[in-house]
Structure 1
């Protein structure tokens, strides 16, 4: 009787993520993220052709708001639930005098925003009432983080999924700090990829 081949670590991980619904989770959340993204693109196109060109609009923002204000607004958004789409800020950097420098700064601020969310999650554990409230509100995110750990952080960093929420949940389950920093650093690659795509579209 032929011996059954031992499965590799990669195969075992694939099997685990398949059985625990990781791939279905990614697909379902990507679909949910696509619709708002399409609505934003549609709204921008309407504005571009009916009201003001996107380039003129972004130039208006550059001329009427200080860079400190824009970077502060972006950092606040990335630190607390990621309410504002990073793509708008990436497009804004294209109209500045130092696009690559400002794009790099956005990437670093986004990463640091994730770190703030992570430590925010760890701090909340010390306040029982807030911890209990958030554990109820974020029970799904916490369960997913317990199941998938670093891969969920990596997916949140790279795809249009709630990165800040993943970081907050990581903090709440006390995900190891060194591993968190490593997985969260993938956020920088998202800005490289999206920056290239958006810069090409605005050229």
Structure 2
């Protein structure tokens, strides 16, 4: 397959990611306007006074296939403190996400040897097997940068005997996602 089609796949998914972020932004603004601003004391007490619960929910979400979009946690981090707290939180979030992908990759490596998983894995990953065969590393990069399921694709890649060092290098794009999205969220709140 020509490189052109692989880049087209990557760009298409990045645009989907930006659209997803725009939808989240609109939902966030609506919720902030009509729900949070109406009862600030309740929300501040509920979410900002117990950061360990938020961190726990985030770690669980990243380990279990991204149940919640990380952008919600970035917004929470923005309101939690000053710029340095925000940057430290983004670093924590990015590290956890990168680590969760690596753990999923290792789980995929282990499960590839389990006969039952070979059967179940074909069913579970049926949507992503053809994409991985067709796009390879571009699927890793696309899932790192966009709302594609990062942990699930990392696990899939682990089941394919993909070289670990190459996976870890391409997985670094996950950190880039946090830098870009974190910057966008920070800048959008500066004028809001």
Same fold? TM cut 0.5: yes
Q: Specify the TM-score bucket, using the shorter chain as the normaliser.
A: 0.7 to 0.9
Q: Does 1:180 align with 2:167?
A: yes
Give 1 or 2 for the bigger CA radius of gyration: 1
- The alignment status of 1:16 with 2:16, answered yes or no, reads no
Q: Compare 173-182 and 153-162 and name the one that shifted more.
A: 153-162
CA distance in 2, matches of 1:45, 1:103: 21
SS state at 1:51 partner? helix
Question: Does structure 1 conserve the Cα–Cα contact (< 8 Å) formed by 2:6 and 2:138?
Answer: no
Q: Distance in 1 between matches of 2:90 and 2:19?
A: 25
- 2:129 is matched with which residue: 123, 132, 142? 142
Q: Give structure 2 stretches of 5+ with no counterpart.
A: none
Residue-pair matches, total: 184
How many Å apart are 1:149 and its aligned residue?
2.1
- The root-mean-square deviation of aligned C-alpha atoms, in Å, is 2.5
Residue of structure 1 aligned with 2:158, choices 144, 148, 171: 171
Give the aligned partner of residue 66 of structure 2.
82
Q: CA deviation at 1:109?
A: 0.5
What TM-score results when the alignment is normalised by the length of structure 1?
0.78
Comparing both chains, which one has the higher relative contact order based on Cα–Cα distances under 8 Å and sequence gaps of 6 or more? 2
How far residue 131 of structure 1 moved from its aligned partner, in angstroms, is 2.8
Q: Structure 1 residues 16 and 61 mapped into 2: Cα distance closer, same or farther (>3 Å)? A: same
Contact persistence 1:157–1:186 (CA under 8 A): yes
Task: Report the equivalent of 2:34.
Answer: 50
**Matches of 1:30 and 1:132 in 2, distance apart?**
31
Instruction: Give the CA deviation at 1:50.
Output: 1.5
The change in CA–CA distance for 1:167 and 1:69 in structure 2 (over 3 A counts) is same
SS at 1:52 equivalent: helix
* TM-score normalised by length of structure 2: 0.82
CA 1:53–1:194: 2 relative to 1, 3 Å: farther
